[in-house]
Amino acid sequence: MQLLASFVCGLVFGAGLLISGMTDPQKVLGFLDLFGAWDATLAFVMAGAVAVAATGFAIARQRAAPAFSVRFLWPERHDIDAPLVAGAVLFGIGWGLVGICPGPALVNLAGLSLPIVVFVAAMIAGMFGHEFRRRRATAPPRSIANTPLPSRADG
Amino acid sequence: MHNFTPISGFAGGALIGLAAALLMLLTGRIAGVTGINGGLLQADTTDRSWRLAFIAGLIAAPLIAALCGAPLPQPVMNAPLVVIAIAGLLVGFGTRMGNGCTSGHGVCGFARLSGRSIAATCIFMLTATVTVAILRHGLGG
């Protein structure tokens, strides 16, 4: 049931991205371009998404456990640390360059157009690059500072 | 604002929020595309199957729409391929380093009123806006 639920959630998420227009990088760039012909649509997408998600999360907080799993895995971190800031800066630059972020990249992959295939391949390489760096930083043979593994809880 | 589509935007956004709410209510997980995707690439991940199922759902959405007559997504991307590749690297590395993207930090983080996620979202929105401003209006604009 967990698998089916995850698939359906991915499907609904993808449908939402398609209907909202957020799979079109030109529409996203139109929002990010404050000094051009500004397209405010993305703000309405965020408003709709946050309103419904917040309602669902409020219902979840009232429950003891999710329907098909033993417990809720709420993100536990609250600190604003350097990797969070630096990561957000790098992501913002990449997002601003072409107007594609990870969700729409995967939805667009279904069309198999060359730019999207290149983007997704590079995105996965970038994720691997970070994983490689994390492993080197956290698992040296004789480490003095015992850095904890970074949480992957936020999403 | 010739391309402004607030109604379909809000409706599509509501579906995105519904998916995030359902994933939490049914499986107890946060619908963050970066975390779901990135977890697949880690050697020590033990829960690959639900991640693959979610991503299969994302990719299936336009395929099912195509069965109903909609065209497959062929997004217009004017940047040279090398710029697209650099952007992909930055998005992949940056989202993993910052533990999230527009879905995990943007949608779910705001919905949880997480200060950490709200900070991340403000930062990537700001740097993306500055990047577009420089590209479209700063260099030879």
DSSP conformation class of B139: S
Q: Do B87 and A119 touch (CB under 8 A)?
A: yes
For residues B27 and A66, the answer to whether their CB atoms sit within 8 Å is yes
> What's the pTM?
0.93
Q: Does A117 touch chain B (CB under 8 A)?
A: no
Tell me the DSSP string of A21-43: TTT-HHHHHHHH-TTSS--THHH
For residues A98 and B82, the answer to whether their CB atoms sit within 8 Å is no
Q: What are phi and psi of A114, to 5 degrees?
A: -55, -50
What tens digit of pLDDT does each residue of B89-117 get? 999 999 999 999 999 999 999 999 999 99
**Residues of chain A below pLDDT 70:** 140-153, 155
Q: Work out the number of other CB atoms within 10 angstroms of the CB of residue B139.
A: 7
pLDDT of residue A155: 65
What tens digit of pLDDT does each residue of B1-49 get? 458 999 999 999 999 999 999 999 999 999 999 999 999 999 888 899 9
Q: Does A141 touch chain B (CB under 8 A)?
A: no
Q: Do B123 and A89 touch (CB under 8 A)?
A: yes
Is residue B74 scored above 80 in pLDDT? yes
Q: Smallest Cα–Cα separation from A60: which of B55, B122, B120, B111?
A: B111
Q: Do B56 and A7 touch (CB under 8 A)?
A: yes
Q: How far apart are CA A84 and CA B123, in angstroms?
A: 9
**Type of residue found at A92:** G
What tens digit of pLDDT does each residue of B38-59 get? 999 998 888 999 999 999 999 9
